[in-house]
Structure 1
Amino acid sequence: MSLKLAVVGGGSTYTPELVDGLARLRDTLPIAELVLIDPAVERLELIGALARRIFARQGHGAAVTTTLDLAAGVEGADAVLLQLRVGGQAARNEDETWPLECGCIGQETTGAGGLAKALRTVPVVLDIAEQVRRTSPDAWIVDFTNPVGIVTRALQSAGHRAVGLCNVAIGFQRKFAAHLGVAPELVRLDHVGLNHLTWERGVTLLDAPGAAGGREVLPELLDGFGPLIAEDLRLPLPLIRRLGVVPSYYLRYFYQHDAVVEELRTKGSRAAEVAEIERQLLALYADPTLDRKPDLLARRGGAFYSEAAVQLIGALLGTGSGTDVQVVNTRNDGVLPFLPDDAVIEVPAEVDARGVRPLPQRPVEPLYAGLIAAVTAYERLALEAALRGGRDRVFDALLAHPLVGQLDLADRLTDQLLAHNHAHLSWA
């Protein structure tokens, strides 16, 4: 099988993580060609050269090509992975800064900053997807671009063969497996919610990879490793014990909003930190003797991204081990009955060459269902604003967001968002 994988945003400093996974897991996803697509030509050539060295070191025979031409890059692709950032780290820095001036979370995927990123990103991603449809109509589009839930909903609503991917679930799986001293393949999560708004309601220890049944071990994890889990999430241990579940660390922004705002005002933006890490990474990537991903890349974020992407794409293209269960972002279609069918949820799903089928979920507790429903309503309004523009639609989305929800605040945030994103919004 001769497979072609195209990566839009291939000049990202994330890309060597992906390349490392493709090299190590070539039995799962045996690609013959990797195409890196990016308008940043200097970064693209650095990353492309490093990718070739990583493949060569690990004996992988795939060709690595780089291009600025989207149409040429995606033509004939079996899968297209999206990992772009419209506006770069400069726009991210603004997303994480100006909301703080209004007393709100400054974060790139939720709240006002997350809305700004969605408004910049959705039109660009839909243009890319249309090009994929013209040249490679059977290709799967795998979205790793944040905010994943909104972007995936935009792609699916436009009829594209798309699924969203996040590394939060696989990160929990790997950490829980390490606590238990078992292989990650023996850990299955009862993971439910929306992208960056999820809870682990159960953790099953399987007798063998893919086996039915198994033993529930979440209480054991909380009893034995509660302090470590709480420290990792930066949430109070009494809260985690009270809930009896493991929330995503993004729930900090909801459960401790005001405290996090003060923290962010003091420490500065994550974007500034990432920009410095990227500067150092690019200097390392320029070394012609480097033929592996550097340790510094772990500080960039996206842990286990490559494993998640390879497993998902391999299952979709039928090169894996048959039907696999993976946590993905996909259409609800009644799985969570309190949400509309076209909402995009993040749950375990059966994945294989026939597509993605989210697994049935037991009823979601009101404490979580209420927040899920509220954020889903916001995401629908955010998508409307991204697709149709207009100040009123931006205001409506902000007013609906649980982290905003006040008239005067939504009004101020709307003005700030439009002022800081004027160059990226054709209608503003």
Structure 2
Amino acid sequence: MKKNNIVLVGGGSTWTPGILKAMTTHLNQFALNRVVLYDVDASRQEVIGEFAKILFKEEASDVEVVYTTDKEVAYKEVDFVFCQMRTGGFDMREKDEKIPLKHGAIGQETCGPGGFSYGLRSIRDMEEMVRDVRRLSPDAWILNYTNPAAIVALALDKIFPEENKILNICDQPVNLLRSYSKLIDYDVDKLEPVYFGLNHFGWFTHIYDAFGNDRAPELKEIISNGGFRPVDAEQRDQSWLDTYAMVEDMLHDFPDYLPNTYLQYYLYPEYKVKKLDPNWTRTDEVREGREKKVFAECRRIVENGTAKDSKVVHNDAHGDMMVEVAASIANNERRTFIVMVRNEGIIANLPDDSMVEVAASLGANGPHPYAVGHIDTFYKGLIENQHAFEKLTVEAYIEKSYTKALQALTLNRTVVDAKKARVILDELIEANKGYWPELKK
């Protein structure tokens, strides 16, 4: 089995320790030669980088571990790029969440105006990353998890239409499948999902077990009668527990399919705004929770010189997914994953240029998506509206168009009102100086 060289972009993230742990536990499936952590924030990178060296010394001592802020080092001669950058860090995420809430709109990092704001920041750095990787490692696979993944995926498809080694993925479908498997006490690896939509905007229509039985009706009944919690509920912040609990409400109103949790922001925007605190958002919760916990644990491990007694650092759905996706490509395993691909008829009655999220087999030549066919009017209408928002957002970036940015926000179901959209847009422009292109009226 070939040993791969990996670069993890956004190496100073709190999610990085879980990915690294997943790498060490999947070495028989995905062999490694070198792991490079790359981040533009040297102070965050050093803490996670020193932890990484200890982890691999104890669990995979033959793997070289490097951390750097130099992209010339990071991207040279790599086989896979795991990308999870956060342009602007938590300071800009806080603005993404709090500015819309101040004006009575959803404040969330990937949905609504917050996702729009984050997306316009992410596109620039993602484009630069792709060009740098292609210069230094022309044949590398780029596995992108950078949010908001829907906007990023559409932008990369527009900017690099001939690229066939960029794969945009999200762990929320995997998190949901793991939670479903716990509810029915069934091995998640033996479940076969049928899924359609856009990223953070989709539905499970069927979930088959190894014998071909559709377990979706059973799951809907369990959730409708007993609620829904994530499989790792004891490790989640309260906002995530509230998010999963809303699945029961969505099933009550729209019982056809099992919804992605993020749909609550689009289906119940007024209700959600009333439940969100404009002075204490998810950013504050992460800073006080996961951020402090993960960095404190990594510092403790570095000080003690061992990670063997750590109960905080473990491979989770996010880390397992990243490594298993890479392994399926590297070993031509053709396993099924839910990924983002250009539609081109997969969902027959949606635009061909939309980046849909569907199940696909994944091997050495990339994803081979499974056809969905026609979808019903309600879901088609929702998706077409969201696709129009995403497309106008990308065009606003490429064309530096204020008008298209305003159109995008006005279309978004979490905003709707054009006067509100303009007020939010103008404040986001001011907040994002130096990150966004200058939008021309």
- With normalisation by structure 1, the TM-score equals 0.92
Q: Could you say what secondary structure the match of 2:186 adopts?
A: coil
Question: 2:20 aligns to what?
Answer: 19
CA distance in 1, matches of 2:178, 2:417: 39
CA distance in 1, matches of 2:97, 2:226: 27
**Residue 294 and residue 274 in structure 1: after superposition, are their counterparts in 2 closer, same or farther (change >3 A)?**
farther
2:330 aligned to which of 317, 336, 339: 317
Deviation string 1:86-126 (CA, Å, 9 cap, x unpaired) is 11001111111010111110011011111000111101110
Question: 2:238 aligns to what?
Answer: none
* Runs of 5+ unmatched residues, structure 1: 208-213
Q: Any residues of structure 2 matched to 1:248-267 within 5 Å, and which?
A: 248-265=260-277
CA distance in 1, matches of 2:113, 2:129: 25
Match of 1:330, as an amino acid?
Answer: V
How far off its partner does 1:294 sit? 5.3
Match of 2:298, as an amino acid?
Answer: Y
**Residue 61 and residue 373 in structure 1: after superposition, are their counterparts in 2 closer, same or farther (change >3 A)?**
same
Question: 1:383 aligns to what?
Answer: 394
Are positions 1:354 and 2:355 aligned together?
no
Q: Is contact 1:119–1:382 with CA below 8 Å preserved after alignment? A: yes
Q: Identity across aligned pairs (percent)?
A: 27
Say which is worse superposed, 54-63 or 166-175, in terms of deviation: 54-63
Q: Could you say what secondary structure the match of 1:200 adopts?
A: strand
Deviation string 1:72-94 (CA, Å, 9 cap, x unpaired) is 21111111111011110011111
Question: 1:167 aligns to what?
Answer: 171
Cα root mean square deviation, aligned: 2.0
How far off its partner does 1:206 sit? 1.1
How far off its partner does 1:330 sit? 1.6
Question: 1:427 aligns to what?
Answer: 438
CA distance in 2, matches of 1:345, 1:376: 9
CA distance in 1, matches of 2:389, 2:13: 29
Match of 1:390, as an amino acid?
Answer: S
Deviation string 1:315-336 (CA, Å, 9 cap, x unpaired) is 1222x6x211111112112101
Q: Is contact 2:348–2:373 with CA below 8 Å preserved after alignment? A: no
Aligned length: 417
Question: 1:89 aligns to what?
Answer: 90
**Residue 44 and residue 357 in structure 1: after superposition, are their counterparts in 2 closer, same or farther (change >3 A)?**
same
Q: Is contact 1:339–1:376 with CA below 8 Å preserved after alignment? A: no
Q: Is contact 1:166–1:195 with CA below 8 Å preserved after alignment? A: yes
Question: 1:307 aligns to what?
Answer: 320
Q: Is contact 1:142–1:163 with CA below 8 Å preserved after alignment? A: yes
CA distance in 2, matches of 1:268, 1:293: 34
2:288 aligned to which of 260, 276, 279: 276
Q: Any residues of structure 2 matched to 1:67-106 within 5 Å, and which?
A: 67-106=68-107
Question: 1:194 aligns to what?
Answer: 198
CA distance in 1, matches of 2:182, 2:245: 19
2:410 aligned to which of 386, 399, 417: 399
Deviation string 1:290-335 (CA, Å, 9 cap, x unpaired) is 516955568xxx95011111111111222x6x21111111211210
Question: 1:28 aligns to what?
Answer: 29
CA distance in 2, matches of 1:337, 1:185: 29
CA distance in 1, matches of 2:308, 2:259: 33
Question: 2:135 aligns to what?
Answer: 134
Match of 1:34, as an amino acid?
Answer: V
How far off its partner does 1:352 sit? 0.1
Question: 1:224 aligns to what?
Answer: 222
Question: 1:211 aligns to what?
Answer: none
CA distance in 1, matches of 2:63, 2:103: 50
**Residue 389 and residue 303 in structure 1: after superposition, are their counterparts in 2 closer, same or farther (change >3 A)?**
farther
CA distance in 2, matches of 1:168, 1:236: 13
Question: 2:307 aligns to what?
Answer: 291
CA distance in 1, matches of 2:348, 2:218: 31
CA distance in 2, matches of 1:96, 1:41: 26
Question: 1:366 aligns to what?
Answer: 377
How far off its partner does 1:399 sit? 1.7
1:178 aligned to which of 174, 179, 182: 182
How far off its partner does 1:47 sit? 0.8
Q: Is contact 1:230–1:240 with CA below 8 Å preserved after alignment? A: no
Q: Is contact 1:141–1:162 with CA below 8 Å preserved after alignment? A: yes
Question: 2:234 aligns to what?
Answer: none
Deviation string 1:259-282 (CA, Å, 9 cap, x unpaired) is 110111267200011112313321
Match of 1:162, as an amino acid?
Answer: I
Question: 2:258 aligns to what?
Answer: 246
